[in-house]
Structures are given as structure tokens and as C-alpha cells.
DNA sequence: AATGTGACACAAT
DNA sequence: TATTGTGCCACAT
């Protein structure tokens, strides 16, 4: 069952984030059973910039405070713009109503 | 095989 | 309350 690498697991979970919702690095790492690998989740998502992984809504993953810490790593379109396209409101790199929009795979995918 | 890295998370100050 | 420092784990080199 561990055929997929950690990165691929991350991609798979991120792909499941519904439009209009967002998740966090820590929540995803925790769901994958490696709670301490939150940083690794971000690094994995960095690979999303590569062609072929454009289906992955990396913009829906933020840190646990709802801050768009990863926006600087986006090439081309801005992270905030993509989130707004999902109907999410942003103010000063902070997702509005963050807690209400949070999608935790640990709960949702159970 | 060992060391370095990183889009985090948390505790201590 | 805001900063700072440390842990953390899987991947890259």
C-alpha cells in the first residue's frame, strides 16, 4: 500500500480539496501519518509548479494560520487570485473566515 | 551513507 | 502580544 511516495500522497490529498475550501500543511501531514512533516508538504507542493502537476490546487494549501505563506513560490498566477477564483476572500495574505473554510482530510476522509 | 533543505508547527522568551 | 529558536520528517544531492 506504500507504493506511492510521500509526495504523491500529498498530491492526491490536495487534489481532493473541494473548490471553495482550503487545507493546511499540518493537516495534510497529519493525515498522512507524519505530523512532523508539515514542511515537507510545502516542499512537495513546490513540485506542482512543474508542468504535468497543474491539476493540483496547491493554492488551496496554506499554513495553520490561514496565511498565504507559499504565494511567493507561485509562478505565473498569484495564489491569492486563484483562491479568489474559488470564491475565497483574502485580505493581506490572510484567508477570511479561515476556520470555517478549513478542510481537514483527517475529518472529511475519515 | 551522510548531510542539507524546506510553501511548517510549537514552546519558550 | 510579538519574536525567536528548536524540532520535525521525507526528499535531494
Q: Is A82 exposed, middle or buried (0-12, 13-18, 19+ CB in 10 A)?
A: middle
Nucleotide nearest to A59 (CA to C1'): B7
CB A41 within 8 A of CB A48: no
Residue A26 in grid coordinates: 499540518
Q: How far is the CA of A70 from the C1' of B5 (A)?
A: 16
Q: Can you give the pTM of this predicted structure?
A: 0.91
Return the pLDDT at A2.
46
**What tens digit of pLDDT does each residue of A9-60 get?**
999 999 999 999 999 999 999 999 998 999 999 999 987 677 777 889 999 9
Protein-contacted positions of strand C (CB under 7 Å): 7-12
- Proximity of residue A79 CB to strand B below 7 A: yes
- What percent of chain A clears pLDDT 70, i.e. is strictly above it? 94
The residues of the protein lying within 7 Å (CB) of strand C read A 5-7, 34-40, 44
Q: Is there a contact between A23 and A83 (Cβ–Cβ < 8 Å)?
A: no
The domain ranges of chain A are 6-108
Distance CA A15, CA A56 (A): 5
Query: A84: how many CB neighbours lie within 10 A of its CB?
Result: 13
Q: In whole angstroms, what is the distance from residue A100 CA to residue A58 CA?
A: 19
* Chain B positions with any atom < 7 A from a protein CB: 5-10
Fold classification of A6-108 (topology level):
Arc Repressor Mutant, subunit A (1.10.10)
Biggest alpha carbon–alpha carbon distance for chain A: 41
Amino acid at each position: 500500500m506504500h507504493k506511492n511516495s510521500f509526495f504523491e500522497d500529498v498530491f492526491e490529498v490536495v487534489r481532493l480539496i473541494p473548490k471553495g475550501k482550503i487545507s493546511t500543511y499540518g493537516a495534510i501531514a497529519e493525515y498522512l501519518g507524519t505530523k512532523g512533516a508539515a514542511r515537507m508538504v510545502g516542499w512537495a507542493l513546490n513540485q506542482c509548479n512543474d508542468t504535468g502537476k497543474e491539476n493540483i490546487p496547491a493554492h488551496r494549501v496554506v499554513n495553520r494560520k490561514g496565511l498565504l505563506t507559499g504565494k511567493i513560490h507561485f509562478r505565473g498566477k498569484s495564489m491569492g487570485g486563484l483562491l479568489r477564483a474559488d470564491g475565497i476572500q483574502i485580505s493581506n495574505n490572510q484567508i477570511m473566515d479561515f476556520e470555517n473554510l478549513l478542510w481537514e482530510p483527517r475529518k472529511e476522509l475519515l
